A and B are shown apart, each in its own frame.
Chain A
């Protein structure tokens, strides 16, 4: 068990560019979540996959954000036309099914939009 892996660890991009992040969950975990976290705040839910199906997406999420989990394995999160307000830590987490299964977080991708 190598844990949840996220790449890249850091990304600096200019406003208006597109960025894509990757998450490799713990292999036997069915559930995969993306969160965004800014300084002094708790993780904010973005979207949730169960296997390959995207079951939930935050109502607050701009349509510039899209996520995929092809074949129920790794996931990608893409942000199009980035804005300075997108600067944050993007966290991926995975878990087994069941409400007693905790989330296991990756190391996160820190995005800075200049």
Chain B
């Protein structure tokens, strides 16, 4: 079982809709979770961090964490074509970061 699992997609949403990306993790000792956006051929770029149960909002992005269910999600409101990318979920335990395989998102104009 991988440490972090994501649905690889692809996920397609129309412009202006809400995109919902999901991630599960296996290590209950994980304390921190991160979402990265990766455009094709580029390196990952940090967009959200979350450490406590509940929601954390930053602009059009909301990260949600449920430690009991070992579940992390990312909501993108008012999706734009520029949001089309692969979204990587990562967990951190101590000094080790674990990445999912990423979910490919396409926002259709």
Q: Tell me the A residues contacting B by CB distance below 8 Å.
A: 31, 33, 35, 40-45, 48, 50, 55-56, 89, 91, 99-100, 102-108
Taking the closest CB of chain B, its distance from the CB of A37, in whole angstroms, is: 9
A43 and B95 contact, CB distance less than 8 A: no
Looking at B34, B45, B92, B97, which has the most chain A CB atoms within 10 Å of its CB? B97
Task: Establish whether residues B100 and A42, one from each chain, have CB atoms under 8 Å apart when the complex forms.
Answer: yes
Q: Is the CB of A107 within 8 A of B42?
A: yes
Asked if residues A106 and B101 are in contact (CB atoms below 8 Å), the reply is no
Main secondary structure of the interface of B (DSSP, over half): strand
Which A residues are CB-close (under 8 A) to B100?
42
Q: Which residues of B contact A43 (CB under 8 A)?
A: 44, 88, 99
In the complex, which of the residues B34, B96, B101 contacts A42, with contact meaning CB atoms closer than 8 Å? Answer: B101
Chain A residues with CB under 8 A of B46:
102-104
Chain A residues with Cβ below 8 Å from B90 are 103
Closest to A91 in B: B43
Supply 24 A–B pairs (Cβ within 8 Å), ascending by A: A40-B102, A41-B102, A42-B102, A43-B44, A44-B99, A45-B98, A48-B95, A50-B95, A55-B95, A56-B95, A89-B43, A99-B31, A99-B32, A99-B93, A100-B32, A100-B92, A102-B32, A103-B34, A103-B90, A104-B46, A105-B36, A107-B42, A107-B43, A108-B42
Q: Tell whether B59 is near chain A: CB-to-CB under 8 Å.
A: no
Query: Chain B contact residues (Cβ within 8 angstroms of A): what range?
Result: 20 to 34
Are A42 and B99 CB-contacts (below 8 A) given A105-B45, A107-B43? yes
Contacts of A103 in B (CB 8 A): 34, 44, 46, 90, 97
- What is the bound-complex CA distance between A17 and B37, given in angstroms? 33
- Interface check B71, CB cutoff 8 A: no
Please, how many angstroms separate the alpha-carbon atoms of A103 and B64 in the complex? 20
B101 → A minimal CB distance (Å):
5
What 8 A-B pairs have minimum CB-CB distances, sorted nearest first? A42-B99, A105-B43, A108-B43, A42-B101, A99-B92, A43-B99, A99-B31, A99-B32
Which residues in window 46-98 of B have CB below 8 A to A?
A: 46, 49, 51, 88, 90, 92-98
